[in-house]
Amino acid sequence: MQIDWSQFTPWTALAGGLLIGLGASLWALCNGRIAGISGLIASLLERQSDGLAEKAVFLGGLLVAPLVWSLWAPLPAFNLPVAEILLIPAGLLVGVGTRYASGCTSGHAVCGLARLSLRSLVATLCFMASAVGTLYVIRHVLGG
Amino acid sequence: MRFLTAALAGLLFGLGLLLAGMTNPAKVLAFLDVAGAWDPSLALVMLGAIGVSLWPMQWTKKQAKTLLGSSLHMPTQRRVDQRLIFGSLLFGIGWGLTGICPGPAVSLLLSGQGAIALFFISLITGMGLFRVLERLFPHW
């Protein structure tokens, strides 16, 4: 393992994490829900009657965040270092996988871990391991 | 009021993703690439997010109502089952391919990245596929 200190951004990472945590906390304290983005998208798709409007508003806030950001500062870099065609299998796997797992990075690795949920700990370990493994195969075995 | 808190919560969450670097796939992949030039930044994103929400989440667990007086909708499932493990492993493969997970996918939709639309359509298709699979294999 070799740490790339030139790319390490501890302060913005920590501050960004604090904002994510604040958003998740506000949503839990005031709306009584888990800020799990895959679950929120799914309940909108399935038009579940429970809290549909407030869920849509939460996702609306998430959606316009870059517009609000760009009022004050240029948007942070976006760099996709892989072939665009990979977005299709990636999206499909993330869609099916997060439904079977009832959660993604936000629901399990942030909210679930903060709730000290065993399910979320297992989920986080599984998707971290398979993400690291997948990237390892692509970058260091296949040499893409 | 609950719509105001919903909008603010979503906005804070989205601004956090942008500030943290989660909306840059190259940065996310650099975190996942532990065998290459590793960028540990995103571990601090998790640390910050969990650190802030630990107490509110624990407090919410002990309440019967939200601060606004509405009912709670927290997960009730406790069992670690094959669906959780299988789903998480699939999700991780998808995440490792491009470095994009659902939150950043929403936050990137309006920032003019055409490629994200392709991911988002596939994500929704995948969620639809899940419903078909559930009907075909109901015991799974």
- Triad B91, A111, B77: Cα angle to 5°: 75
Question: pLDDT value at position A144?
Answer: 53
Question: pLDDT value at position A23?
Answer: 98
- DSSP one-letter code for A69: H
Query: Quick one: closest CA in B to A84, which residue?
Result: B115
Contacts B126 to A, Cβ<8 Å: 91-97, 99
Contacts A135 to B, Cβ<8 Å: 29, 32-33, 96
Interface touch B123/A135, C-beta < 8 Å: no
On the question of pLDDT at A41 being above 90, the answer is: yes
8 A C-beta contact, residue A44 and residue A55? yes
**Which of 74-93 (A) contact B at CB < 8 A?**
75-82, 84, 86-93
**Which of 43-82 (B) contact A at CB < 8 A?**
43-54, 56-61, 65-68, 70-75, 77-80
ipTM of the complex: 0.96
Domain limits at B101?
A: 2-136
Interface touch B88/A122, C-beta < 8 Å: yes
Question: pLDDT value at position B140?
Answer: 78
DSSP B41-98: HHHHHHHHHHHHHHHHHHHHHT-SB-TTSPBP---------HHHHHHHHHHHHHHHHH
Q: If pLDDT is split at 50, 70 and 90, which confidence band does A94 have?
A: very high
Contacts A139 to B, Cβ<8 Å: 33, 35-36
The tens digit of pLDDT for each residue in B13-51 reads 999 999 999 999 999 999 999 999 999 999 999 999 999
Question: pLDDT value at position B138?
Answer: 84
Contacts A144 to B, Cβ<8 Å: none
Of B52, B65, B116, which has the smallest distance from its Cβ to A25's Cβ? B52
Quote the number of domains for chain B.
1
